[in-house]
């Protein structure tokens, strides 16, 4: 097995979701693993050495184009004769990976939550039907592209770090390859996004109104968490759509998900049921959220959240 892992550059190195892909690739026992980075600074790749890969190809690019990135990655995979491509199933990965698969005549498996080698063949499993079922799949093609759900695989440093050698890969691009261009990125400044957070505190209809969300925000501050919301409160205009967790919002897998005043409709569970630890605060002890919770407090959010925030603050020092 010869694996190419897409390494997405971040402000200070490589995105954690890409490093998770590196660890997943190493766990498969591949003969060769090569990193490929499109755009960013070549020096960003150095951190990958700590995670056990030393051979990295870099294509400099000043303007991001998902189509150009897909063409470049596909050409690199061909030039290396690799059979397996692994990318993170984040916004950029989900956009470009299906194109890479079509270009390579490869099977594409989206949103993998596990990868394993079974009698010499790579098998992946992934949730379907909003997480109500899970399928095991494999490809019938020579080449395969896997997109891994972020924050499900763990990024582990290698026991002995290696020194990274970055080589430049120059793809053959035509004008057609740059027909989609990112002109601008608008960051939600000073606000942690639910897709990037280790801990999420979400509020639902039990908060009774937008003016009470400070209770959720305060608990989030004490936990260093992002603020999330249920569909009901987003539809009611209390919170922005970017915070919505669930089937029509974002799918998240944080280390801890705290659901406050959220009953736990199946559409909400679809977006958060792969969280590692789930905590629920709800005054209705029959609420479905308690069926998926590791820890629950049956009580009124107005009474419980301030006390919880205070006690957590003692532990976290925030």
Partner 1 sequence: MNILVCVSQVPDTTTKVAVSADGKTIEKNGVKFILNPYDEYAIEEGLQLKEKFGGSVTALTVGNDSAKDILRTALAMGADKAVLVSENGTADTFGIASAIADYARTLNPDIVILGRQSIDYDSFAMASMVGELLDIPSISMVSSWSIEGTNITAERDIEGGKEVLEAALPCVISAQKGLNNPRYPKLPDIMKAKSKPIDTTTASVSEARVITKGMELPQTQRRGIILGDGENDISELVRLLHEDAKVI
- Which of positions 256-285 make contact with partner 1 (CB under 8 A)? 256, 266-267, 270, 273, 276-279, 285
Smaller CB separation from partner 1, 164 or 234: 234
Query: Which parts of 208-267 interact with partner 1 (CB under 8 A)?
Result: 223, 241-242, 247-249, 255-256, 266-267
Smaller CB separation from partner 1, 128 or 236: 128
Q: What are the strands of the beta sheet with 165-168, ordered from one edge?
A: 107-112, 144-148, 84-88, 2-6, 32-38, 55-59, 165-168
One residue of 60, 128, 154, 209 binding partner 1 per CB under 8 A = 128
Distance of CA 24 to the CA centre of its chain: 14
The CA R_g of the chain, rounded to the nearest whole Å, is 21
Stretch that binds partner 1, among 39-47, 48-56, 76-84, 188-196 (CB under 8 A): 188-196
Stretch that binds partner 1, among 23-31, 133-141, 153-161, 210-218 (CB under 8 A): 133-141
Minimum separation from the CB atom of position 211 to partner 1 (A): 22
**Can residue 106 be called a binding residue for partner 1 (CB under 8 A)?**
yes
Minimum separation from the CB atom of position 161 to partner 1 (A): 26
**Can residue 21 be called a binding residue for partner 1 (CB under 8 A)?**
no
Whole-number Å distance between alpha carbons of 199 and 197: 5
CA 37-39-41 angle, to 5 degrees, is 90
Query: Which parts of 61-90 interact with partner 1 (CB under 8 A)?
Result: 66-67, 70, 89-90
Bridge partner list, 123 = 116
Smaller CB separation from partner 1, 55 or 123: 123
Stretch that binds partner 1, among 44-52, 79-87, 93-101, 205-213 (CB under 8 A): 93-101
The DSSP code for 245 is B
Whole-number Å distance between alpha carbons of 88 and 101: 14
Minimum separation from the CB atom of position 163 to partner 1 (A): 30
The DSSP code for 211 is G
Q: Please report which helix (H) or strand (E) contains residue 92, including its range.
A: helix 91-104
Q: Which residues contact 89 (CB under 8 A, 6 or more apart)?
A: 97, 110, 111, 112, 147, 148, 149, 150
Smaller CB separation from partner 1, 53 or 97: 97
Stretch that binds partner 1, among 32-40, 41-49, 135-143, 160-168 (CB under 8 A): 135-143
**Can residue 40 be called a binding residue for partner 1 (CB under 8 A)?**
no
**Can residue 315 be called a binding residue for partner 1 (CB under 8 A)?**
yes
| Pairing assessment for the beta strands 107-112 and 32-38 based on DSSP bridges | unpaired
One residue of 14, 21, 53, 92 binding partner 1 per CB under 8 A = 92
Whole-number Å distance between alpha carbons of 192 and 257: 14
Bridge partner list, 166 = 56
């Amino acid at each position: 097995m010869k694996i190419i892992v897409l390494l997405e550059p971040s402000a200070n190195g490589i995105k954690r979701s890409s490093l998770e892909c590196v660890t997943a690739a190493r766990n498969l026992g591949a003969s060769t693993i090569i990193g490929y980075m499109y755009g960013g600074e070549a020096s960003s790749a150095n951190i990958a050495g700590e995670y056990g890969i030393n051979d990295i190809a870099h294509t400099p690019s000043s303007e991001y184009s998902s189509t150009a990135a897909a063409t470049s990655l596909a050409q690199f995979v061909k030039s290396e004769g690799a059979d397996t491509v692994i990318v993170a199933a984040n916004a950029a990965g989900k956009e470009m990976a299906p194109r890479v698969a079509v270009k390579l005549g490869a099977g594409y498996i989206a949103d993998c939550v596990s990868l394993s080698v079974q009698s010499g063949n790579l098998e992946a499993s992934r949730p379907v039907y909003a997480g109500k079922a899970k399928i095991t799949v494999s490809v019938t093609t020579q080449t395969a592209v896997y997109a891994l759900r972020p924050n499900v695989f763990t990024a582990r440093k290698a026991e002995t770090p290696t020194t990274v050698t970055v080589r430049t890969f120059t793809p053959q691009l035509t004008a057609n390859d740059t027909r989609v261009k990112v002109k601008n990125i608008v960051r939600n400044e000073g606000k942690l996004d639910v897709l990037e957070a280790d801990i999420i505190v979400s509020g639902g209809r039990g908060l009774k109104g937008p003016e009470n969300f400070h209770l959720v925000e305060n608990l989030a501050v004490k936990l260093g968490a992002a603020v999330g919301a249920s569909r009901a409160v987003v539809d009611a205009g209390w919170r922005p759509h970017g915070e919505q967790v669930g089937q029509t919002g974002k799918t998240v897998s944080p280390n801890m998900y705290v659901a406050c005043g959220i009953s736990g409709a199946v559409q909400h569970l679809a977006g958060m049921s792969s969280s590692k630890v789930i905590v629920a605060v709800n005054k209705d002890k029959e609420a479905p959220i308690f069926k998926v919770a590791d820890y629950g407090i049956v009580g009124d959010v107005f009474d419980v959240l301030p006390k919880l925030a205070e006690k957590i603050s003692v532990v976290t020092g925030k």
